[in-house]
């Protein structure tokens, strides 16, 4: 049996499967078969060493990776011997469903997604009379998410001495409202599990005793709170195995800390390090080129990927006059590949920011080439889907005020904002929004007409609640949509709308609801509960809805490409200021991450890789002229065809501490996270929203002097002692807190506190 598990593995993979000592760090390079090694290790533990499946916990980062691991284990072990395999967030949900009452919540808690979070934050800002032009809800959400990724509660933020008590107070109020609604956001799933284990020793001991083996995949992507969770799950006799690749750590902007994998064997001194260096995915040319790029990073674990695959074709480097020509080249090349018999599903186009996709989409549509783009509106985030699910959320968790507020007048029932606000005044006292609806009627706080409408809504929800116990989920949802008036109104719009666009929109929303019901049918056939369904929906990503068998080209950001592979890959926009991104500046940590991102993108390619850059690119209505990316100069010339980029001098790199205190520059990191999230999720045709006033002033560059602010204007050329010459792009605020955004030729865009920016006429 052991021989059967080891036959298909190389020597390092076999060592990883058989190791029985202390902690194990599996350094697994791109395409090196880490999932095979990990699943065979789990199978060996169960089949050869007799470890009960329920005592093994395997944690991944994506639903896709978890599903793939379960499928492979089922093939090796059978369906009845599967261990715990789930993402970090799904694992925490399972733990909290059993234990969260220790923290003052009930087990039927709701999971808020990004939209719910922003709606709640908008309410808070309105209540506190803070204008959104002064503090955007998304910026506040970024601050809160950043704190949670670092394991900081509002109380911990205050104790760490963060310099913006206003933000901390809003964070505290936000948590208070979540708890009042018996709701958790994504960050809470991790943070509250850590809090639970730290505060309740009996719970911590029970879970430590349950799992004798803990395996964590994609370890380079863990943030501070996930690392702490791992430590708390490990008891005295837990065997720990972590798998990852520091060269693929690309989520620093989301809180990931590459130091977790770089310093793992310092924290766990008995660690055995096994390197998986044989690549099974890419040609030798692609692998050598990608390695040449990432090797320029100094703070990394030494490894040398190699492959038995043939050299393959040289990498095609395309230089275009502008972004339109670049898109034209890519689409024409895709057409040529298609004529040669290549499948469209085998082709992917990557870009650094979502804004780059617009010209690609237009070019693909012009040639009638089907494509799928990640980063658009997710299915479960569509208006009609959210409306439908909020009816279910309210039935499962009546304390969920955000869900109840959304549906009380959806479809329109004549219940206005003033009535809703009057109900909300009793929400805390009543213990939830639905309870407040009943209380406001008992106390006769509403006029006769408003009271009649609210009573009708309360009775409607009570009726749906009675059906909940006896109807299967798809039928319940269909009846809710019909009896609430939701689908009848859409059907009427589809028939009577004044324009064809209006009719088509209403029909599209009806089609989406039909798709929702079909998905519920599949869910019901698996025997899962309504609560299970709502959990799965809350934790779902757009990648989970991607069907790789459909014949179409894939468009996505480089960050989204992580974990995927395609025979044919295009990486666009290989230009200074775009990739590496202007926000990377000259700081070593940011630039290292950009280099790792380039490595990740290149190693997605299996057979053929194209790299392209443009001499000029239109960005938000103006032309930018950027030099070719320095990453192109890192690639050995013999591996490239086409134009050879000249050598590019990198800006002087400054030393950055490997780790900082949890509170250090939290608001500054929040700025970075917000900007990166806009790059990943903003619709391609929409410019990112204007920059907000930062929660706290950004760090000032060295050797700064006061600036004469009187003569500064948009478009003015200026010089900075460290960054050189640049152009003023934006002015915001006033007085001592006025900020200036400058595009510098050397490092791209920088936002500076004007008083101390030290800018001189340029």
**167, 143 Cβ separation under 8 angstroms:** yes
Q: What confidence tier does 205 reach under pLDDT thresholds 50, 70, 90?
A: very high
In Å, how far from its chain's centre is CA 414? 38
Set 99, 116, 188, 218: catalytic member: 218
- Matching residue, tokens 């990198």: 650
Is residue 467 part of the annotated active site? The answer reads no
Nearest to 454 by CA among 477, 497, 498, 424: 424
Set 39, 248, 319, 394: catalytic member: 248
Higher pLDDT, 389 or 751: 389
pLDDT at 693: 35
Q: What confidence tier does 673 reach under pLDDT thresholds 50, 70, 90?
A: very low
Indicate the range of 136-140, 185-189, 671-675, 748-752 predicted with least confidence: 671-675
Q: What confidence tier does 751 reach under pLDDT thresholds 50, 70, 90?
A: confident
pLDDT at 695: 36
**274, 24 Cβ separation under 8 angstroms:** yes
Domains of the chain: 2-97+191-276 (3.40.50.300), 284-377+550-642 (3.40.50.300), 407-538 (1.10.486.10), 697-761 (2.40.10)
Look at the alpha carbons of 369, 609, 680, 181 in this order and tell me if their dihedral is positive or negative: positive
Look at the alpha carbons of 560, 563, 565, 570 in this order and tell me if their dihedral is positive or negative: positive
Three-state DSSP class for residue 483 = helix
Set 13, 34, 153, 386: catalytic member: 34
Task: Name the burial class of residue 64, with classes exposed (0-12), middle (13-18) and buried (19+) by CB atoms within 10 angstroms of its CB.
Answer: middle
625: how many CB neighbours lie within 10 A of its CB? 12
Distance CA 761, CA 720 (A): 9
Distance CA 427, CA 436 (A): 5
Beta strands in 210-310 (DSSP E): 213-216, 239-244, 272-276
**61, 221 Cβ separation under 8 angstroms:** yes
Is residue 35 part of the annotated active site? The answer reads yes
Is residue 736 part of the annotated active site? The answer reads no
36: how many CB neighbours lie within 10 A of its CB? 18
Q: What confidence tier does 504 reach under pLDDT thresholds 50, 70, 90?
A: confident
Dump pLDDT digits (tens) for 53-102.
Answer: 999 999 998 888 899 999 999 999 988 889 999 999 999 999 999 999 99
Higher pLDDT, 283 or 358: 283
Dump pLDDT digits (tens) for 566-611.
Answer: 999 999 999 998 999 887 655 688 899 999 999 999 999 999 999 9
**486, 509 Cβ separation under 8 angstroms:** no
Dump pLDDT digits (tens) for 36-57.
Answer: 999 999 999 999 999 999 999 9
Q: DSSP secondary-structure letter at 587?
A: B
**363, 330 Cβ separation under 8 angstroms:** yes
Dump pLDDT digits (tens) for 371-409.
Answer: 988 866 677 888 999 999 999 999 999 999 999 999 999
Distance CA 207, CA 210 (A): 5
pLDDT at 133: 86
Is residue 34 part of the annotated active site? The answer reads yes
Higher pLDDT, 504 or 130: 130
Name the strands in the sheet holding 760-761, side by side, starting at the edge strand that comes first in the sequence.
748-753, 739-744, 724-732, 717-720, 760-761
Higher pLDDT, 751 or 261: 261
pLDDT at 585: 59
Helix ranges (H only) for 562-714 are 588-602, 630-634, 666-681
Q: Evaluate if residue 669 carries a pLDDT over 70.
A: no
Is residue 68 part of the annotated active site? The answer reads no
pLDDT at 700: 35
- Matching residue, tokens 């950004």: 698
Longest Cα–Cα distance of the chain, Å, equals 82
Higher pLDDT, 94 or 253: 94
Tokens of 736: 């001592």
pLDDT at 657: 36
pLDDT at 683: 42
Q: Evaluate if residue 672 carries a pLDDT over 50.
A: no
pLDDT at 380: 83
Three-state DSSP class for residue 8 = coil
pLDDT, average across residues 731-742 = 78
Q: Evaluate if residue 701 carries a pLDDT over 50.
A: no
Residue 223: C-alpha distances to residues 148, 151, 220, 294 (Å): 10, 9, 9, 22
Set 228, 604, 692, 755: catalytic member: 604
Three-state DSSP class for residue 69 = helix
Q: DSSP secondary-structure letter at 60?
A: E
pLDDT, average across residues 497-510 = 79
Higher pLDDT, 161 or 463: 463
Three-state DSSP class for residue 577 = strand
Phi-psi region of 104 (alpha: psi -120 to 50; beta: other; left: phi over 0): left
Three-state DSSP class for residue 263 = coil
Q: What confidence tier does 746 reach under pLDDT thresholds 50, 70, 90?
A: low
Higher pLDDT, 540 or 456: 456
Q: Evaluate if residue 432 carries a pLDDT over 50.
A: yes
Distance CA 62, CA 89 (A): 9
Dump pLDDT digits (tens) for 601-638.
Answer: 999 999 999 999 999 988 766 788 889 999 999 999 99
Mean pLDDT of the chain: 85
**54, 34 Cβ separation under 8 angstroms:** no
Question: Within 13 A of 580's CA, how many CA atoms are on the CB side?
Answer: 29
Residues 6+ apart with CB under 8 A from 657: none
Where b means 16+ CB within 10 Å and e means fewer, 524-545 reads beeeeebbebbbbbbbbebbee
Set 145, 185, 188, 217: catalytic member: 217
pLDDT at 95: 96
Is residue 217 part of the annotated active site? The answer reads yes
Q: What confidence tier does 690 reach under pLDDT thresholds 50, 70, 90?
A: very low
Strand 724-732 relative to strand 717-720: parallel, antiparallel, unpaired?
antiparallel
Three-state DSSP class for residue 268 = coil
């Amino acid at each position: 049996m052991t021989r059967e598990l080891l036959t298909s593995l190389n020597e390092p993979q076999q060592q990883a499967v058989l190791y029985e000592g202390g902690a194990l760090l599996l350094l697994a390079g791109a395409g090196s078969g880490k999932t095979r090694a990990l699943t065979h290790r789990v199978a060996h533990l169960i089949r050869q060493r007799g470890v009960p499946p329920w005592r093994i916990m395997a944690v991944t980062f994506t639903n896709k990776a978890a599903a793939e691991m379960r499928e492979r284990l089922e093939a090796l072990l059978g369906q009845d011997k599967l261990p715990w395999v789930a993402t970090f967030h799904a694992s925490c949900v399972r733990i909290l469903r059993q234990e969260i009452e220790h923290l003052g919540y009930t087990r039927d808690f709701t999971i808020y997604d990004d939209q719910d979070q922003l709606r709640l934050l908008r309410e808070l800002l309105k209540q506190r009379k803070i204008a959104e032009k002064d503090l955007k809800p998304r910026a506040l959400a970024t601050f809160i998410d950043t704190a949670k990724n670092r394991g900081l509660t509002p109380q911990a933020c205050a104790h760490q001495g963060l310099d913006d008590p206003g933000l901390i107070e809003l964070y505290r109020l936000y948590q208070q409202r979540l708890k009042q609604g018996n709701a958790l956001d994504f960050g809470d799933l991790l943070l509250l599990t850590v809090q639970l284990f730290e505060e309740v020793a009996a719970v911590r001991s029970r879970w430590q005793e349950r799992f004798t083996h803990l395996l964590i995949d994609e370890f380079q992507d863990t943030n501070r709170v996930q690392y702490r969770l791992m430590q708390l799950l490990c008891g005295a006799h837990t065997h720990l195995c972590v798998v990852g690749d520091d060269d693929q750590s690309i989520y620093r902007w989301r809180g990931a800390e590459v130091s977790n994998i770089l310093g793992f064997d310092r924290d766990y001194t008995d660690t055995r390090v096994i390197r998986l260096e044989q690549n099974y995915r890419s040609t030798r040319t692609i692998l050598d080129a990608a390695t040449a790029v990432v090797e320029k990073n100094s703070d990394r674990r030494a490894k040398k990927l190699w492959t038995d695959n043939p050299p393959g074709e040289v990498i095609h480097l395309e230089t275009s006059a502008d972004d339109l020509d670049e898109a034209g080249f890519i689409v024409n090349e895709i057409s040529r590949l298609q004529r040669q018999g290549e499948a469209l599903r085998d082709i992917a186009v990557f870009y650094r920011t979502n804004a780059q996709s617009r010209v690609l989409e237009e070019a693909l549509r012009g040639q009638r080439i089907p494509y799928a783009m990640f980063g658009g509106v997710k299915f479960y985030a569509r208006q009609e889907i959210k409306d439908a699910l909020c009816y279910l959320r309210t039935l499962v968790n009546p304390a969920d005020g955000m869900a109840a507020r959304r549906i009380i007048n959806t479809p329109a029932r004549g219940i206005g904002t003033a009535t809703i606000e009057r109900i909300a005044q009793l929400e805390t006292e009543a213990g939830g929004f639905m309870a407040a609806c009943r209380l406001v009627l008992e106390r006769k706080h509403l006029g006769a007409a408003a009271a009649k409408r609210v009573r009708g809504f309360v009775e409607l929800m009570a009726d749906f609640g009675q059906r909940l116990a006896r109807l299967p989920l798809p039928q319940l949802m269909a009846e809710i949509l019909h009896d609430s008036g939701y689908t009848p109104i859409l059907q009427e719009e589809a028939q009577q709308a004044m324009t064809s666009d209006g009719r088509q929109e209403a029909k599209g929303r009806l089609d989406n609801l039909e798709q929702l019901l079909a998905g519920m049918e599949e869910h019901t056939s698996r025997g899962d509960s309504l609560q299970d369904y709502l959990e799965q929906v809350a934790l779902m990503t757009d990648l989970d809805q991607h069907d790789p068998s459909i014949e179409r080209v894939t468009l996505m950001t480089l960050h989204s490409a992580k974990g995927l592979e395609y025979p044919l890959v295009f990486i666009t926009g290989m230009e200074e200021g775009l990739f590496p991104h202007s926000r990377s500046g000259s700081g070593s940590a940011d630039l290292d991450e950009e280099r790792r991102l380039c490595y990740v993108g290149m190693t997605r390619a299996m057979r053929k890789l194209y790299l392209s850059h443009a001499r000029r690119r239109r960005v938000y209505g103006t032309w930018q002229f950027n030099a070719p990316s320095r990453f192109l100069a890192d690639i050995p010339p013999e591996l490239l065809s086409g134009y050879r980029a000249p050598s590019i001098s990198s800006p002087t790199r400054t030393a950055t501490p490997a780790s900082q205190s949890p509170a250090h520059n939290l608001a500054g990191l929040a700025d970075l996270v917000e900007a990166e999230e806009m790059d990943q999720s903003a619709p391609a045709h929409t410019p990112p929203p204007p920059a907000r006033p930062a929660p706290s002033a950004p760090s000032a560059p060295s050797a700064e002097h006061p600036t004469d602010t009187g003569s500064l204007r948009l478009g003015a050329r200026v010089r900075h002692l460290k960054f050189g010459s640049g152009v003023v792009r934006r002015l915001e605020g006033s007085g001592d807190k006025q900020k200036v955004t400058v595009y510098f030729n050397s490092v791209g865009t920088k936002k500076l506190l004007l008083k101390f920016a030290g800018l001189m006429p340029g």
